[in-house]
Structure 1
């Protein structure tokens, strides 16, 4: 912001002119009479140059203001959550680690009505696509975690922030239904509960955004092993590499039966392949360094985007885009949450353990999924499971005991189902093998309770899990030791700096990989 010019020598704004300079002179030696002010004026070429620069400057300001107003007017906003309590402060969008939940809505409103009637999507619609974009604090890597829409999860109690109507918690329902009743914020709360993270922002796009964006960038190259036709999505591609845009780009992303065995996991790999190719296209074309092209993309995206209130400004969106433009495509990792056929319904999926818990723990510790052995950057946030309090000292029991026969139960009141397996894994590694699980009501603080004669065992369990000594308590009615997990997510890291175990194939591909999708044999055409 410019400051007002200070008055100097009495505050005169301009130098005083001599009295004779304001009138014609009578001295013949000075030549023909003329107004001296004209002689002291700027040259003609400088006047013209100044006028041109002024016009250009006004034009640039007007152009910038036009686009700022236009883009801001495009944005649709919604609440980040649906009633859950946040324990973390707001992030600095320019330099903190940031997690953005990216959703694709199946709503049939407006321009999307050609893809079905109102009966095909209820309420706020379902999420056809659900991905968690995790940007590291140093802007050197991005993890993109896909959640299958058929994944069965527990949805927490949610309140529609528009109507204030409250919806009860639901158990064992498809994750793509999380937003259908109480809005996008409920999908955010559901993913927070599932992973133990706290999402900072969300972006939700509809069918039309994919078509317009693919047209704006001039098409995206995709590859498939065989010629295929999927009548449900309308996708028809020849064998090999094809450029898709508009309706075919949308068909590629929506195709549920065209890839692999025709299930949701094949669809996820197809989506990840498309996004990888889109990232390469934008990077290779230098789009994010081209202001005109960037504005075109921004216009298309904001017209078809709903974002949370904390992100709903053009400067914030540009800040995030600026963070992404220089990331190495080899450090953009695409991952699918590990799943297995659900016990309750073989046509649905459930988390595959311990792989899912390992993934969520690695995410909370901000691990580079392309290189889990790498040291996290100093600016990265500490593990949410680590405790800032002093750990209890190991017990000084007079006689050693056999850990393998000590009864230890895990009661999970954290609201994060995957925490149970994390804790059991640490306990098992530490030698405690007589383990049980209990259903538990939600609590805020983690504690270790112990029955008579088990104080030394409880102290050792607490030390192993990194739970402070002040949270180790005697309790009548507890048989052995009970680890009651709270929403503070304390515990489960043993030393807090040990190596992270992850399945070797946890990363499906990076944005630098050119992957050909395997066609579903049932839909291959000749």
Structure 2
């Protein structure tokens, strides 16, 4: 590189630099900067727009982050099961048929202390409300099945997933006590055992969730047949339709004496009526398409919510909520598990057969409870936790792997023909089933064979012997051994009806979310 000389022989001096060029060098003797052209200033409007957009973006991100962190921080979680195992894979929350067990806890911890004493908050509490929500795979229908808190059931052996303490199985215990020792997972396992389904998720809310949610939506309309006052719950309403929120909303869903005959079934119908009205309110107000309202509801719910690990994220909860926004409210069916006074204790309930087993079989087959003859929206969910989940039953074998003479088999005659029961017992005895009994049962149209745990193979053989198709061999939680329930279609030596349509009581659906129902007030609670 040749360095320019400053002492030129021709007497010239370096070219003069412009002021613009000089600003880019400290030494004014440096020549003009060839890369620089004329300067351009950014328009003021563009600067202002950029600043505004930046501020908005930061605000949106901060707002979204705030709500995500807040909602996520609200959620509490527990294990889905209590050590009894699963046979199904995890569901896709966006596309699969899904069952969610919804529980209302009666714990008096924390904000709920005003509703009881410290003794009431011992352990995990009891499930004051227990409902199973079944969402179809095509998002066109929802079934909500209520289980009375006084229902006597068999609770399986459960292991507290936090402490790893094992609790033995219980027979004929109230279903609301299932979670009190080993946690919510034990309640899930109990419902699995009872229905033959496998619950995919659970949601448990406490007293405050009802109060805060009803306040957030601006109240829920409820209807009562007469003016009512229940001093135990504090519910006080005039005859007709009223808007309840806060404490009165909680009193409406908690009261045990105000409706029906003052028992648990009256309360279930009131709870279903409240939820139906809440669904209509949310749909009519456009809440599900209003982000601001949805955030308010989400905040109210999550602050008082405990869910399983698989549901414990805001995106997953939003996915489930999004599935419900377009369902026709006439396809949201509310059902109470068929029950009757328990033989062992008239103040408790037991499953009413065959209606309960028919309901659970219909659920396993994904039947539309509002229209049992409609085709299923998806293939039935396979798998279950124990013998109660198998449907149909195993095929009969030519050589039984058990002692027939030791198997308890009863014949319930619902055919209105005494001769049918005698012929069935004779056929059973001749085949080696000598431990038999018979009794007269309520009339039914269709013959079925029901069985308790570990009697599926015996039931299959009994069904084959009496000509009952395998599709009518059903598990039943309260049958000891096997019960052949003869219906009007039964004739000795003839094949009973093999109709594939679901056999369900005609009034199995209490109401849909589209129905406005006035709750019948217990005469003892009417205010004159």
Q: TM-score, normalised by structure 2?
A: 0.76
For 2:57 and 2:125, locate their aligned partners in 1 and report how far apart those are by CA, in whole Å.
Answer: 46
Q: Could you tell me how far 1:163 is from its partner in structure 2? A: 0.7
Which residue pairs with 1:13 in the alignment? none
Change beyond 3 A, Cα 1:226–1:483 = closer
1:290 aligns with 2:278: no
> Which among 470, 478, 481 is matched to residue 465 of structure 1?
470
- Is the contact made by 2:79 and 2:309 (CA closer than 8 Å) also made in structure 1? yes
Indicate conservation of the 8 Å contact 2:392/2:470, yes or no: no
- Residue in structure 1 matched with residue 187 of structure 2 by the alignment: 187
Superposed CA offset, 1:383-430 (max 9, x none): 9645799x78999xxxxxx987432799xxxxxxxxxx9xxx99x838
Matched, 1:507 2:509: yes
Q: CA deviation at 1:173?
A: 1.1
Q: 1 CA distance for matches of 2:172 and 2:229?
A: 34
- Give 1:62 shift: 1.3
Q: Which position in structure 2 is the counterpart of 1:300?
A: 300
Task: Give the superposition deviation at 1:464.
Answer: 3.2
Which of 428, 447, 452 is the aligned partner of 1:429?
447
Kept after mapping to 1: 8 A contact 2:109/2:121: no
- RMSD of the alignment, in Å? 3.4
Contact 1:225/1:516 (8 A) holds in 2: yes
- Equivalenced residue count is 441
- Secondary structure, aligned partner of 1:356: helix
Cross-structure match for 1:258? 258
Residues 436 and 186 (structure 1 numbering): CA distance in 2 closer, same or farther, change over 3 Å?
A: closer
Q: 1:76 aligned to 2:72?
A: no
Report if aligned partners of 1:79, 1:185 keep a CA contact under 8 Å in 2: yes
How far apart are residue 230 of structure 1 and its match? Answer: 0.1
Q: CA deviation at 1:381?
A: 3.9
Structure with bigger gyration radius: 2
Quickly say closer, same or farther: Cα 1:459–1:374, change in 2 above 3 A: closer
Q: Which shifted more, 371-380 or 502-511?
A: 371-380
The TM-score, its normalising length taken from structure 1, stands at: 0.77
Three-state SS of the structure 2 residue aligned to 1:99 is: strand
Unaligned runs of 5+ residues in structure 2 are 1-17, 24-33, 384-388, 400-422, 434-440, 473-480, 484-495
Q: Which residue of 2 aligns with 1:155?
A: 155
CA offsets, 1:103-127, max 9 Å, x none? 0000000110101102234311111
The correspondence of residues 83-162 of structure 1 with structure 2, limited to 5 A, is: 83-162=83-162
User: Which consecutive residues of structure 1, in runs of 5 or more, have no partner in the other structure?
Assistant: 1-19, 26-32, 396-401, 411-420, 468-481, 485-493
Deviation at residue 463 of structure 1 after TM alignment: 9.3
Alpha-carbon distance between aligned partners in 2 of 1:37 and 1:127, rounded to the nearest angstrom: 78
Structure 2 equivalent of residue 406 of structure 1:
427
Tell me the equivalent position of 1:315.
315
Query: In structure 2, what is the equivalent of residue 239 of structure 1?
Result: 239
Q: Does the CA contact (< 8 Å) of 2:393 and 2:470 recur in 1? A: no
SS at match of 2:131: strand
2:364 is aligned to 364
Alpha-carbon offset, residue 51 of structure 1 = 2.3
Q: Alpha carbons of 1:299 and 1:23: their partners in 2 closer, same or farther (altered >3 Å)?
A: same
State the shift of 1:313 in Å. Answer: 0.4
The 1:64–1:462 alpha-carbon spacing in structure 2 relative to 1, beyond 3 Å, is farther
**Which residue among 498, 501, 513 is the counterpart of 2:500?**
498
1:110–1:368 distance in 2 versus 1, CA, 3 Å = same
Residue in structure 1 matched with residue 374 of structure 2 by the alignment = 374
Q: 1:457-506 CA deviation, whole Å, 9 max, x = no partner?
A: 89778993279xxxxxxxxxxxxxx989xxxxxxxxx9998110100100
Q: Secondary structure at the match of 1:84?
A: coil
Contact 1:221 1:277 (8 Å CA) reproduced: yes
User: Separation in 2 of the partners of 1:200 and 1:449?
Assistant: 29
- Describe the SS at the equivalent of 1:153: strand
CA 1:522–1:37 in 2, change beyond 3 Å: closer, same or farther?
farther
The 2-side partners of 1:393 and 1:340 are apart by: 36
1:163-209 Cα shifts (integer Å, max 9, x gaps): 11100011111111111111111000000000000000000000011
* CA distance in structure 2 between the partners assigned to 1:466 and 1:513 by the alignment: 33
Query: 1:201 touches 1:308 (CA, 8 Å); kept in 2?
Result: yes
Q: Is the 8 A contact 1:364 1:385 kept in 2?
A: no
Q: Partner of 2:14 in structure 1?
A: none
- Is 1:394–1:463's contact at 8 Å kept on the other side of the alignment? no
How do 1:37-52 and structure 2 match up within 5 A? 38-39=39-40, 42-52=42-52
Partner of 1:280: 280
